[in-house]
Amino acid sequence: MKRKRDILLSLCMVLAILTFPACKEKRGELKKIWYNGSYNRDFNDLNDVQLAMAQKIGIQPVANREEAEHASKSMVEIATNEYYEVEELTHSIPFLIPEAAELLEDIGRNFQDTLRNRNASLYKIKVTSVTRTRDDVKKLRKRNVNSSKNSTHQYGTTFDISWARFTKIDEKDTLNIDKDRLKMVLAMVLRDLKRDDRCYVKHERRQGCFHITVRREEN
């Protein structure tokens, strides 16, 4: 009799779950997203500042992709994951020194945490450029006269994150956050990390990206 009663109870529980499926937690009202600063003023770490740090803690620049294979053994390969998307790289390779790879993941994680705290839909940041060989720098300078010959990208310490393009995680989410507000969220995250002496950042207007070099303070 007890076994029969247990079976009936189990069937009732299954029926209840099928009839009244668990509802997703309702998202609260979207909180205001606003950056109370200046992109150009707050993110104006020029090349000489970033270059000094890159030369201090980064790898030795390599001439070409063949040499890069050996240099990559001391770096971390980065790839699209839950926090960021690596775009197709035409003038760089997806490797960073460990501190820079950790910084990049922290930026992506903090970006999503900030969106979540404002009841916004979630997005990934987009990485547009990573480590370059000397050959990469030469080829890029032919296309972009504004690119630096002494690029910090040669040291495995530096990467670019787009402030114009982001990837929405759940396309079924009907709430869309425009790129201007997403840029504000990204700026909030970068400003906090700059204040913690984790990185140098340059707001690149023409390239539509934040140019970021990891920092390491020697004891």
Q: Is the pLDDT of residue 144 over 90?
A: no
Instruction: Measure the CA dihedral 152/61/86/120, to 10°.
Output: -30
Instruction: Check residue 24 and give its pLDDT.
Output: 53
Q: Is the pLDDT of residue 16 over 70?
A: no
What DSSP state is assigned to residue 214?
Answer: E
pLDDT digits (tens, 9 = 90+) for 96-120: 999 999 999 999 999 999 999 999 9
- Mean pLDDT confidence for 168-172: 96
Which among 108, 115, 154, 130 is positioned nearest to 212, based on CA atoms? 130
What DSSP state is assigned to residue 155?
Answer: G
Instruction: Check residue 18 and give its pLDDT.
Output: 46
Q: Is the pLDDT of residue 22 over 80?
A: no
CA 178, 181, 185, 190 torsion-angle sign: positive
Instruction: Check residue 20 and give its pLDDT.
Output: 43
Q: Domains in the chain, start-ordered, CATH in brackets? A: 28-214 (3.30.1380)
Q: Is the pLDDT of residue 1 over 80?
A: no
pLDDT digits (tens, 9 = 90+) for 51-101: 999 999 999 999 999 998 888 899 999 999 999 999 999 999 999 999 999
Q: Which residues contact 63 (CB under 8 A, 6 or more apart)?
A: 133, 134, 135
Q: What percent of the chain has pLDDT over 90?
A: 77
Is 158 exposed, middle or buried, given 0-12, 13-18 or 19+ CB atoms closer than 10 A? buried
The identity of residue 198, as a single letter, is R
pTM of the model: 0.86
Instruction: Check residue 200 and give its pLDDT.
Output: 98
Range scoring the smallest mean pLDDT among 26-30, 34-38, 39-43, 140-144: 140-144
